[in-house]
Structure 1
Amino acid sequence: MTQNPPEDQNPGGEQPEQSGGFPPPNQPPAAQPPSYGSPQQPPADQPPGYGTPPPPPGGGTPPPPPAGPGGGFPSAPPPPPGQYGQYGAPQYGGPAGAPGAFGAGQPVFSVGGAIGYGWNSFKSHVGGFLGWSVIVLLVSALLSSLLNPSVNVDFNDIEALTAAATPSIGEQFLGALSSIAAMLLAVIIQQGAVHKVNGRLNGFGDFIKFDHAGPGFLTALLVAAAYIVNLIPFIGWLLALAIFLLGMFAVPIALDTGASPVDAFKRSMQLVTGNVGNVLLLILASIGVMLLGLIALCLGVFVAYPIVLIAGVFAYRTLSGQQVAPA
């Protein structure tokens, strides 16, 4: 039985039209101009695998490359929060706690560091510290000789020596006044030391440029009242020692911050009680420096005195966690 061939369903030779305007299968697309900016297809004669990863073993479709600009390369991760600028740009400046630079960190307190800072600061401003030390100590000695008769004793006069060994209440009071005057004069050198640790000491006149003169002198007067307390029988000396010890940082605090005398004394007391060991070592070292100054024909005291005062200001700043300008 003979079968007739199937009829030609498109006798005119026209291609059937596909939905959406696409050409029929098995027919190459019409030539189109290249599209700039889009990835180009590999040439026909390029070996397989061009631009794509090799197929995984066992068949299957390889994973697509990570999305990103530049032909599939991954984009750089964003910078951490709080950092600005281009990714990978160098970050300038050291860490916040880097030691050795004013404004970048603060030195850790040590007794040797405090005395060394005092010595280096004295050398870098020898004219100011030495000049004011001579003025303060000479004026203090003059006031003491006028107010305290025990300093003008003829050592060949036995009766005068005996009287000086047992001064009257009035003489003791005058001696306390001379010591208070000396402590008030010392505020000038302490103000210079405060300017130094703040990086603002430039010349001789800066020692009497007070930012907080009233609180500074009133606080010095409060601490110097220990000389009057010392006149109390039996326990006076113990109370005076406690006032001097607990208030040793009060004057620098008042000069530096403008705190009231009571607040400055409270803050000083907190620093002392929180650092008893370091404070006692600093006091012993300061006494040793003053003794060395007296041994050096008594002239060394003009050097030792400002060194001790600067060391005290340095101790206040570092023990309270504040920065200190280079010496």
Structure 2
Amino acid sequence: MSDSSQGPGWWQASDGKWYPPEQAPSGPTPGGGDFAMAGGGTAGTLDIGAALGYGWNKFVQYIGQIILIVLVIFVVQGAFFAISRIIGADNSISALVLGQAVAIIGWVIGLILQAGLIRAGLAVTNGQAPDVSMLFQTANLGSFIIATILVGLLFFVGFLACCIGMIVVAIFTLFYGYFVIDRSAQPVDSISSSFKLVKENFGSVALFAVVVFVLNLITCGLAVGVTQIATAYAYKSLTGQPIAA
């Protein structure tokens, strides 16, 4: 373990530390082999009830920190949306341009917050307390933004396929951000790793994704604290990594 990379193959975990290749957690093995546990075992399985139960228990354990994190996300994103709408209401060309600029900045900030939320969920599964500062860490941010843009393009293609493709893309790219933040995976690699992981566990992952979507929908997003931790649990469980009790 080190505070910086010591050479080829070293990878940065969600705790911000760098680890040697032999300690790499599960991921696609060179040549396209199966996912392996950090200790060399086989890939895990996903227990949806256990994932949601873990998410709820950790939410209760860190309720103050998680509520603050979710509140910051809602306030920041809401503020940028409101400002862009107010500016754009002028209908002049300059106001419309400025409104779009603010909206784009808000979108980028939203991606930073999204990456931070993934980082916080992974931290909980590592046995660390989540913190608002995790929302604004920039490690692997460039790769995350590029990967998100690529996923967005896939969503557009899926939209052209009678919207059914969007659902397929959403399920198969569920874990791309986790591979970026947890494994420092490159954008294309993170997406292909997520596709591979979901493909090998499609039934349980698809059902889990539906449950998470419904929970977030009926709570207007307020369940994100629970579902984000549950998704981090699912990612680590499926990739065979240890999860803090």
Give the TM-score of the pair, scaled to structure 2.
0.65
Question: Superposed, which structure 2 residues align to 1:65-104 within 5 Å?
Answer: none
How far, CA to CA, are the matches of 1:202 and 1:319 in structure 2? 22
Shift of 1:240: 4.8
| 1:121 pairs with 2:58 | yes
Residues 125 and 233 of structure 2 are in contact (CA less than 8 Å); yes or no, is this contact kept in structure 1? yes
Indicate if the aligned counterparts of 1:117 and 1:311 stay in contact, CA closer than 8 A: yes
Which residue is equivalent to 1:196? Answer: 124
CA contact (8 A) 1:193 1:313 kept: yes
Alignment correspondent of 1:207: 134
Do the aligned residues in 2 keep the contact of 1:180 with 1:227 (CA within 8 Å)? no
Aligned position for 2:82: 145
Higher Cα Rg, which structure: 1
Question: 1:176/1:324 Cα in 2 relative to 1: closer, same or farther (>3 Å)?
Answer: same
User: 4+ residue runs of structure 1 moved beyond 6 angstroms?
Assistant: 171-177
Code of the residue aligned with 1:197 in structure 2: it is T
Give secondary structure in 2 for the equivalent of 1:109: coil
Following the alignment from structure 2 to structure 1, what is the Cα–Cα distance between the partners of residues 53 and 158?
40
Give the partner amino acid of 2:121: A
1:142 CA displacement: 2.0
Cα deviations across residues 193-220 of structure 1 (Å, max 9, x unaligned)?
Answer: 1111112x1353562585xx44245224
Contact 1:227–1:240 (8 Å) recurs in 2: no
Partner residue in 2 for 1:75:
none
Deviations 1:69-122 (CA, angstroms, capped at 9, x unpaired): xxxxxxxxxxxxxxxxxxxxxxxxxxxxxxxxxx9x997521111111111111
1:234 and 1:186 map into 2 onto residues whose CA distance is 22
Matched AA of 1:143:
F
Q: How much is the aligned-residue C-alpha RMSD, in angstroms?
A: 3.9
SS in 1 for 2:181: helix
1:182 maps onto 2:110 in alignment: yes
Q: CA deviation at 1:134?
A: 0.5
SS at 1:259 equivalent: coil
Q: Give the Cα–Cα distance (whole angstroms) in 2 for the partners of residues 246 and 186 of structure 1.
A: 18
Task: Point out the structure with the larger helix share.
Answer: 2
Q: State the Cα deviation string for residues 113-164 of structure 1 (Å, max 9, x = none).
A: 1111111111111122111111012211222233468x98xxxxxxxxxxxx
Distance 1:193 1:263, change over 3 A: same
State the structure with bigger RCO (CA 8 A, min sep 6), 1 or 2.
2
**Structure 1 residues 188, 125: CA separation in 2 closer, same or farther (over 3 Å shift)?**
same
Once the two structures are superposed, the pairs formed by residues 15-34 of structure 1 within 5 Å of their partners are none
Distance 1:241 1:175 in 2: 25
Q: Which amino acid aligns with 2:243?
A: V
Residue from 176, 183, 189 that aligns with 1:250? 176
Contact 1:219 1:254 in 2 (8 A): yes
Deviations 1:199-245 (A, max 9, x none): 2x1353562585xx442452244224444665679617566544433
Q: Which stretch shifts more, 308-317 or 175-184? A: 175-184
What residue identity is the alignment partner of 2:83?
L
TM-score between the two structures when normalised by the length of structure 1: 0.50
User: How many residues end up aligned between the 2 structures?
Assistant: 198
Alignment of 1:235 with 2:154, yes or no, is no
Residues 158 and 164 in structure 2, CA contact (< 8 A), matched pair in contact too: no
| Preserved CA contact (<8 Å) 1:192 1:206 | no
Q: Give the secondary-structure state (helix, strand or coil) at the position aligned to 2:240.
A: coil
Partners in 2 of 1:148 and 1:221 — Cα distance?
Answer: 26
Instruction: Tell me, in whole angstroms, the C-alpha distance in 2 between the residues paired with 1:132 and 1:222.
Output: 23
- Segments of 5+ residues of structure 1 without an aligned counterpart are 1-102, 153-170, 295-300
Which amino acid counterpart does residue 132 of structure 1 have in structure 2? Answer: I
The answer to whether residue 222 in structure 2 is matched with residue 317 in structure 1 is no
- Structure 1 203/177 Cα, relative in aligned 2: closer, same or farther at 3 Å? closer
SS at match of 1:135: helix
Distance verdict in 2 for CA 1:180–1:230, change over 3 Å: farther
Are the equivalent residues in 1 in contact too, given 2:83–2:102 (CA < 8 A)? no
Residue number in structure 2 paired with 1:286: 212
